[in-house]
Amino acid sequence: MRTRRSVRPARVLAAVLLAAALAVTGCSGTGDAADGAAGGDRKAARAEGAEQGAPGGAADGGAADGARATAPPKAPAQHVIRTASLTVQVKDAPKALDEARATAENAGGYVGNETTARDEEGHGHTRVVLRVPVERYEEVLTDLEGAGRLLERSAKAQDVTDQVVDVESRITSQRASVARIRELMDRATKLGDVVTLEGELSTRQADLEALLARQESLKDRTSLATITLFLSEDPVEKPARDDDPGFVDALAGGWDAFVTVLRWLAVAVGAVLPFAAAAALLVLLWLRVVRSRLPRRPASATGAPGPLPAARPVRGGTEGGAEG
């Protein structure tokens, strides 16, 4: 009995010690494996950073790769043609024109075209075309609007990005085509082949020059905005007159009415005169030509004059005087 009791505690103690040893061994093995994996990752990251030239190790290399991977793609540049038209009423057109020139030149632009005229009343009217950089487009518009009273404004923006990209692509292809033709010319040995290649080279060179000219035009129109400015002077204000009319005003009004009546009479006479002349000419032709050729009517029997009645003898003194 004593032996059995002493054997059982020993077995239990041995089992507990074995479980503790296994637990300690498993934990140390897991830690060593984790440390080994972490060390391997660090070494791999350092090696990758060294290959990419990043001295900061795995953290810097990973951050750079992540930033490079998440960076958004660069948006293509837009090419827009901007045009505007302004009509401004000013008091002094030449002065406003000088200010507009200075505004365009200070913005890095220039004056493209200019026209100045005066109407019958002496008011000046100026049309000027300004070319300014696109970056200063809105600023220049605001300055020009403040030169006077804005009467009208219109602006337009035309996106020609597709045209610019298409022209650039065609230029690249055309240059490669010209280079191939020149290579063929260098290797040609027959005169006929050389002549044919020269004609083809001239045609493709002309096409290339046309594309280059179009590209230059698009570049000029997209880099510089066009502003057409119309300047008109204010009408001259007449002095205020007294509201109560006087003798001079009445006389002037009567004279104006008299002149107006005479003018209308002259207009009426002038309008009727051609018809009166035509009517007089027709009457004259009737009397001189038509009437003289018409047959005359014969005198009727009833209408012919009869014999004159005989004179009655006078009685009285006449008869006595005759007898005596």
**Structural domain boundaries in the chain:** 2-58, 77-236
The Cα–Cα gap between 96 and 233 comes to 10
Residue 253 confidence (pLDDT):
80
Angle at 314 between CA 308 and CA 315, to 5 degrees: 150
Contact 145, 230 (CB under 8 A): no
Residue 194 confidence (pLDDT):
86
Nearest Cα to Cα of residue 104 among 127, 129, 79: 129
Cα distances (Å, whole numbers) of residue 207 to 181, 196, 199, 203, 220: 14, 17, 13, 6, 20
Query: Whole-structure pTM over 0.75, yes or no?
Result: no
Backbone Cα Rg of the chain? 58
- The H or E element containing residue 262 is helix 247-285
The Cα–Cα gap between 236 and 242 comes to 19
Residue 5 confidence (pLDDT):
46
Residue 312 confidence (pLDDT):
57
Give the neighbor-by-neighbor strand order of the sheet with 80-90: 110-118, 124-133, 224-233, 80-90, 149-159
Residue 19 confidence (pLDDT):
54
Fold classification of 77-236 (topology level): Alpha-Beta Plaits (3.30.70)
For residue 318, the Cα-to-chain-centroid distance in whole angstroms is 122
The Cα–Cα gap between 264 and 267 comes to 5
Structure tokens at 139: 């600023």
pLDDT per residue of the chain (324 residues) written in tens, 0 to 9: 444 444 455 554 555 555 554 444 444 444 444 444 444 444 444 444 444 444 444 444 444 455 444 555 555 578 899 999 999 999 888 888 999 999 999 999 999 888 888 877 777 889 999 999 999 999 999 999 888 888 889 999 999 999 999 999 999 999 999 999 999 988 888 888 888 988 999 999 999 999 999 999 999 999 999 999 999 887 645 445 555 666 777 778 888 888 898 888 888 888 888 888 888 888 888 877 776 666 666 555 454 555 555 555 555 444 444 443
Angle at 215 between CA 213 and CA 218, to 5 degrees: 110
H and E: helices and strands count for the chain: 9, 5
The burial of 87, by beta-carbon neighbours within 10 Å (0-12 exposed, 13-18 middle, 19 or more buried), is given as middle
Phi, psi angle pair for 24, to nearest 5°: -65, -40
